[in-house]
Amino acid sequence: MSATGTVVLDPGHGGSVNLGGSDANHAVSPSGVLEKNMTLEFAQLVQTALSSEADVQVILTRTGDVNLSLAARANVARDSGADLFLSIHFNGFNGSARGVEAFVRPANDDNFNVDEDKEFAALVQKGVFDAIQARDPGTKDRGVKEMKLGVLRDSSLGNTAANHPCRACLLEIEFIDVPAVDALLNTGPDAPAVRAEIASAIKDAIVAALT
Protein backbone atom coordinates (compact mmCIF):
# COMPACT_ATOMS: atom_id res chain seq x y z
CA MET A 1 0.00 0.00 0.00
CA SER A 2 1.49 3.33 -1.04
CA ALA A 3 1.36 6.59 0.87
CA THR A 4 -1.27 9.06 -0.30
CA GLY A 5 -2.13 12.49 1.04
CA THR A 6 -1.17 16.11 1.60
CA VAL A 7 1.51 17.14 4.07
CA VAL A 8 2.20 20.67 5.31
CA LEU A 9 5.70 21.27 6.65
CA ASP A 10 6.03 24.38 8.79
CA PRO A 11 9.59 25.70 9.21
CA GLY A 12 9.44 27.50 12.54
CA HIS A 13 10.16 31.23 12.90
CA GLY A 14 11.53 33.43 10.09
CA GLY A 15 11.99 37.04 9.10
CA SER A 16 13.03 39.78 11.51
CA VAL A 17 9.77 40.75 13.23
CA ASN A 18 7.73 38.81 15.78
CA LEU A 19 4.25 38.26 14.38
CA GLY A 20 1.04 36.76 15.73
CA GLY A 21 2.72 34.68 18.42
CA SER A 22 5.56 33.56 16.14
CA ASP A 23 9.03 34.80 17.11
CA ALA A 24 11.40 35.69 14.30
CA ASN A 25 14.00 33.39 15.85
CA HIS A 26 14.59 31.53 19.08
CA ALA A 27 17.62 29.28 19.38
CA VAL A 28 21.13 30.11 18.13
CA SER A 29 24.01 27.62 17.88
CA PRO A 30 27.47 28.33 19.34
CA SER A 31 28.76 28.83 15.79
CA GLY A 32 26.03 31.40 15.12
CA VAL A 33 23.59 29.34 13.06
CA LEU A 34 20.02 30.56 13.56
CA GLU A 35 17.15 28.20 14.27
CA LYS A 36 14.98 29.89 11.61
CA ASN A 37 17.51 28.97 8.92
CA MET A 38 17.87 25.41 10.14
CA THR A 39 14.12 24.84 10.22
CA LEU A 40 13.79 25.99 6.63
CA GLU A 41 16.66 23.82 5.44
CA PHE A 42 15.24 20.74 7.19
CA ALA A 43 11.77 21.35 5.78
CA GLN A 44 13.27 21.56 2.31
CA LEU A 45 15.30 18.38 2.90
CA VAL A 46 12.16 16.53 3.97
CA GLN A 47 10.29 17.91 0.98
CA THR A 48 13.02 16.60 -1.32
CA ALA A 49 13.03 13.23 0.43
CA LEU A 50 9.27 12.97 -0.04
CA SER A 51 9.50 13.80 -3.75
CA SER A 52 9.94 10.08 -4.46
CA GLU A 53 6.42 9.48 -3.12
CA ALA A 54 4.36 10.22 -6.22
CA ASP A 55 1.02 10.41 -4.41
CA VAL A 56 2.17 12.67 -1.56
CA GLN A 57 1.75 16.43 -2.01
CA VAL A 58 4.10 18.53 0.14
CA ILE A 59 3.44 22.18 0.96
CA LEU A 60 5.74 24.48 2.95
CA THR A 61 4.27 27.32 4.99
CA ARG A 62 7.25 29.43 3.96
CA THR A 63 10.01 29.05 1.39
CA GLY A 64 12.06 32.11 2.36
CA ASP A 65 13.11 34.21 5.34
CA VAL A 66 9.69 35.51 6.31
CA ASN A 67 7.58 35.16 9.43
CA LEU A 68 3.95 34.10 9.55
CA SER A 69 1.56 34.24 12.47
CA LEU A 70 0.82 30.96 14.21
CA ALA A 71 -2.73 31.01 12.88
CA ALA A 72 -1.56 31.72 9.33
CA ARG A 73 0.81 28.75 9.48
CA ALA A 74 -1.98 26.42 10.60
CA ASN A 75 -4.36 27.93 8.04
CA VAL A 76 -2.13 26.56 5.27
CA ALA A 77 -3.16 23.08 6.40
CA ARG A 78 -6.82 24.11 6.53
CA ASP A 79 -6.77 25.69 3.08
CA SER A 80 -4.96 22.76 1.45
CA GLY A 81 -7.04 20.04 3.09
CA ALA A 82 -3.89 18.59 4.66
CA ASP A 83 -3.76 15.16 6.22
CA LEU A 84 -0.63 15.97 8.25
CA PHE A 85 0.85 19.18 9.66
CA LEU A 86 4.39 19.11 11.04
CA SER A 87 5.95 22.21 12.58
CA ILE A 88 9.75 21.89 12.67
CA HIS A 89 11.82 23.55 15.41
CA PHE A 90 15.07 23.33 17.35
CA ASN A 91 15.46 23.84 21.08
CA GLY A 92 17.80 26.09 23.01
CA PHE A 93 17.99 26.25 26.80
CA ASN A 94 21.09 26.16 28.98
CA GLY A 95 23.84 24.90 26.69
CA SER A 96 23.73 21.37 28.08
CA ALA A 97 20.14 20.03 27.90
CA ARG A 98 19.78 17.44 25.15
CA GLY A 99 17.17 15.45 23.36
CA VAL A 100 14.41 15.05 20.80
CA GLU A 101 10.81 15.81 21.70
CA ALA A 102 7.47 16.37 20.03
CA PHE A 103 4.34 18.18 21.15
CA VAL A 104 0.63 17.90 20.53
CA ARG A 105 -2.10 20.22 21.74
CA PRO A 106 -3.91 18.89 24.84
CA ALA A 107 -7.26 17.15 24.61
CA ASN A 108 -10.31 19.31 25.27
CA ASP A 109 -8.23 22.40 24.44
CA ASP A 110 -9.09 22.99 20.79
CA ASN A 111 -7.83 19.54 19.85
CA PHE A 112 -10.45 17.10 18.64
CA ASN A 113 -8.11 14.26 17.63
CA VAL A 114 -5.42 14.16 20.30
CA ASP A 115 -4.93 10.38 20.12
CA GLU A 116 -4.32 10.50 16.36
CA ASP A 117 -1.98 13.46 16.85
CA LYS A 118 -0.01 11.49 19.44
CA GLU A 119 0.35 8.52 17.10
CA PHE A 120 1.75 10.78 14.38
CA ALA A 121 4.01 12.62 16.83
CA ALA A 122 5.36 9.33 18.20
CA LEU A 123 6.34 8.15 14.72
CA VAL A 124 8.19 11.39 13.98
CA GLN A 125 9.84 11.71 17.39
CA LYS A 126 11.09 8.11 17.51
CA GLY A 127 12.37 8.25 13.95
CA VAL A 128 14.39 11.39 14.59
CA PHE A 129 15.65 10.16 17.96
CA ASP A 130 16.84 6.88 16.46
CA ALA A 131 18.60 8.70 13.61
CA ILE A 132 20.43 11.05 15.98
CA GLN A 133 21.25 8.36 18.53
CA ALA A 134 22.91 6.29 15.81
CA ARG A 135 25.33 9.19 15.37
CA ASP A 136 25.51 10.55 18.92
CA PRO A 137 24.58 8.47 22.00
CA GLY A 138 24.50 11.69 24.03
CA THR A 139 21.03 12.57 22.78
CA LYS A 140 17.98 11.92 24.96
CA ASP A 141 14.55 10.49 24.20
CA ARG A 142 12.26 13.21 25.55
CA GLY A 143 9.12 11.63 24.12
CA VAL A 144 5.78 13.14 23.13
CA LYS A 145 4.26 15.82 25.35
CA GLU A 146 1.14 17.94 25.47
CA MET A 147 1.39 21.74 25.31
CA LYS A 148 -1.05 24.51 24.43
CA LEU A 149 0.70 25.64 21.24
CA GLY A 150 -1.05 28.13 18.99
CA VAL A 151 0.23 26.60 15.77
CA LEU A 152 -1.53 23.33 16.66
CA ARG A 153 -4.97 24.82 17.34
CA ASP A 154 -7.55 22.65 15.59
CA SER A 155 -9.82 25.59 14.75
CA SER A 156 -6.91 27.07 12.75
CA LEU A 157 -6.03 23.73 11.17
CA GLY A 158 -9.59 23.31 9.92
CA ASN A 159 -10.53 20.48 12.27
CA THR A 160 -13.89 20.30 14.02
CA ALA A 161 -15.46 17.87 16.45
CA ALA A 162 -17.43 16.36 13.57
CA ASN A 163 -14.61 16.33 11.02
CA HIS A 164 -10.94 16.31 11.98
CA PRO A 165 -8.86 14.97 9.07
CA CYS A 166 -5.60 16.77 9.90
CA ARG A 167 -3.16 15.27 12.39
CA ALA A 168 -0.65 17.79 13.75
CA CYS A 169 2.43 17.98 15.92
CA LEU A 170 5.44 20.17 16.61
CA LEU A 171 8.91 18.60 16.52
CA GLU A 172 11.94 19.90 18.43
CA ILE A 173 14.82 18.12 16.69
CA GLU A 174 17.56 18.85 19.27
CA PHE A 175 19.09 21.60 21.43
CA ILE A 176 21.29 23.54 19.02
CA ASP A 177 22.85 25.69 21.79
CA VAL A 178 24.87 22.60 22.79
CA PRO A 179 28.35 22.54 21.16
CA ALA A 180 28.14 18.81 20.43
CA VAL A 181 24.81 19.27 18.62
CA ASP A 182 26.17 22.24 16.69
CA ALA A 183 29.04 20.05 15.51
CA LEU A 184 26.69 17.18 14.74
CA LEU A 185 24.28 19.24 12.64
CA ASN A 186 26.23 22.27 11.42
CA THR A 187 30.01 22.40 11.71
CA GLY A 188 31.24 18.80 11.80
CA PRO A 189 32.53 16.92 8.75
CA ASP A 190 29.54 14.57 8.77
CA ALA A 191 26.91 17.29 9.33
CA PRO A 192 25.43 17.17 5.80
CA ALA A 193 25.05 13.39 6.03
CA VAL A 194 23.47 13.63 9.49
CA ARG A 195 20.99 16.25 8.30
CA ALA A 196 20.06 14.01 5.38
CA GLU A 197 19.59 11.02 7.69
CA ILE A 198 17.28 13.00 9.98
CA ALA A 199 15.27 14.26 7.00
CA SER A 200 14.98 10.69 5.75
CA ALA A 201 13.73 9.58 9.16
CA ILE A 202 11.06 12.29 9.11
CA LYS A 203 10.10 11.25 5.59
CA ASP A 204 9.75 7.61 6.68
CA ALA A 205 7.56 8.66 9.62
CA ILE A 206 5.32 10.71 7.35
CA VAL A 207 5.00 7.86 4.84
CA ALA A 208 4.12 5.47 7.67
CA ALA A 209 1.48 7.89 8.94
CA LEU A 210 -0.07 8.18 5.48
CA THR A 211 -0.01 4.47 4.66
Report the CATH number that the domain containing residue 198 is assigned in CATH: 3.40.630.40
Closest CA to 88 of 119, 42, 47: 42
Give me the residues paired with residue 44 across strands. Answer: none
CA 142 to chain CA centroid, Å, is: 15
pLDDT (tens digit per residue) in 151-161: 999 999 999 99
Across the range 26-33, mean pLDDT stands at 98
User: What is the per-residue pLDDT for 108?
Assistant: 87
Banded model confidence at residue 125, pLDDT cuts 50, 70, 90: very high
Q: Which domain does 169 fall in, by range?
A: 5-210
The total number of structural domains in the chain stands at 1
Q: CB under 8 Å to 15, separation ≥6 — which residues? A: 24, 36, 65, 66, 67
pLDDT of residue 1: 72
Query: Which pLDDT score is estimated for 157?
Result: 98
Whether the predicted pLDDT of 99 surpasses 90: yes
